[in-house]
Amino acid sequence: MAKKIMCMGTSSHVGKSILTTALCRIFYRRGKRVVPFKAQNMALNSYVTRDGDEMGRAQVAQAEAAGMEPMVDMNPVLLKPTGNSCSQVVIMGKPVGNMSAKEYHQGYSLKAFEAVKEALGRLDRDYDTIVIEGAGSPAEVNLKANDIVNMRVAKYLNAPVLLIADIDRGGALASLVGTLELLDEDERELVKGLVINKFRGDVSLLTPALDFLEKKTGKPVLGVVPHIEKMGIDDEDSVSLQDKQAVPTDGDIKIAVIQTPKISNFTDFDALSNEGDVSLYYVQDAADFGTPDVVMLPGSKNTTEDMLYLEKSGIGQLVKKHAEAGKAVIGICGGYQMLGERIMDPHHTESDNDEVNGLGLLGMTTLFAEKKLTSQVKADCNNLSFMGQSISAGNLAGYEIHMGQTDFTRESDSHPFVIRERSRTECNNIEGTACDKGNVFGTYIHGVFDNDEFRRSVLNAVRITKGLAPLENTRNVMAEKQQSYERLADIVEQHLDMDKLMEIMGENNQ
């Protein structure tokens, strides 16, 4: 039977995911077979496992920190918002349908908890340590009766809980005290320690507040974790978009990512934003479009509605003018579909729209099917004509998550990607589209810019058009992620009372 620790927060975005990630790496470094777990994620940033199962990206980062392959047992329930208080419900990696918030919370969530218990049973059997993440706040009294991700999990496992507050946003003491007051007595008993997160400044000035907290609550403060700049770890969901760059800064290449209302998998652009010669910013309004060198259209959980948003907001017209001027436009997944001529959804898999017009920059139409394609892929890029350069790169790793089936309508367009392996099965399927002008292309492959050679080749093509010399690739994104996990673990281990934590978990300190 595994030892457990659960990270809960006083609200969303207080750092539960990050501290869970840190603990996974700390225990991994101590020789434990450690596994992350979150019963239910509500997120538009998702991932596909080797077995073709869909899960939240937060647990993917945590799995990497724990030195293991992501698997759906780490996140058995995933809710993907589609709009109008409705979400696609994914159980054990497979979609089971779209449900309203009321339908899910009042009718289905407790059924979904059966999958949670089964996943926990397997992890409890196979691992030494389970680091569990909660969601939002455990003290939402209107949701507690059907909540399957916070105290229901803690009570089911009798898991000790760390309650985390974000002091950077203010009100940390009140949120900790208030959360504990709203918990039932048996739930309060499970809270074994408090953590102050994202602290800036001299921690000695906080000592009176910590003394007050311990006296008021009867709970020990296990640590004060500092605010960590440039963490280098994938964001969980769109809440973190509030912290993203909204205007371009200095950089040889300015990249505008169009932030549609149902943007998904914006982690596709993280590797680009970390390039030294790139200024990447997010655009929500036409007035903020600026003069980018490259426009990127991201994935979407409601492609037809996001396409209508582009037209209504005026951003779509700006993207078309940008392309007509010979400047670069790139689309991924839903963004790729928007670059085409039409998007059809006769089964209403995402919305009530039967059909919408795309931007018409690529010769293709997309028809939404009732079944979702989820797979890891390996692909080659062969002679992609982009900004006057021919780009080829082999063994590109990524994943697909889409319900659209795309047909090509223009012989002049090219299809530069070839999928060589899909879900561990060899294949030879053409993928992606590039226009004959050489400035617009799209692909279904999420994570394609995590591939170092391909990413630098695309950026260098833009550099050359601006009269700038191409740069050598000096980065290894996967190695950088591992370094980020190490740095995070070092900081948290330094500022958290690990001896006390191990005692709380019933572990021998080692």
446 is known as an active-site residue? yes
Short-list 326, 62, 14, 299, CA closest to 175: 14
CA distance 191 to 137: 13
Short-list 312, 309, 333, 331, CA closest to 322: 331
Decide: helix, strand or coil at residue 240: helix
Query: What are 431's two structure tokens?
Result: 């993928």
The sign of the CA dihedral 81, 83, 85, 86 is negative
CA distance 313 to 315: 5
CA distance 334 to 331: 7
Q: β-pairing, 364-386 with 417-422?
A: antiparallel
Short-list 307, 374, 327, 299, CA closest to 94: 374
Decide: helix, strand or coil at residue 106: helix
> Rounded to the nearest 10 degrees, what angle do helices 477-495 and 57-65 cross at?
80
86 is known as an active-site residue? no
Of 7, 24, 86, 333, which residue is the catalytic one? 333
Residues 6+ apart with CB under 8 A from 96: 89, 90
CA atoms within 13 A on the CB side of 237: 22
CA angle 101, 104, 105 (to 5 degrees): 80
Q: How many CB atoms lie within 10 A of CB 285?
A: 11
CA distance 495 to 490: 9
CA distance 38 to 153: 9
Q: How many helices and strands in the chain, by DSSP H and E?
A: 15, 26
Short-list 39, 38, 42, CA closest to 301: 42
- Residues annotated as part of the active site: 333, 446
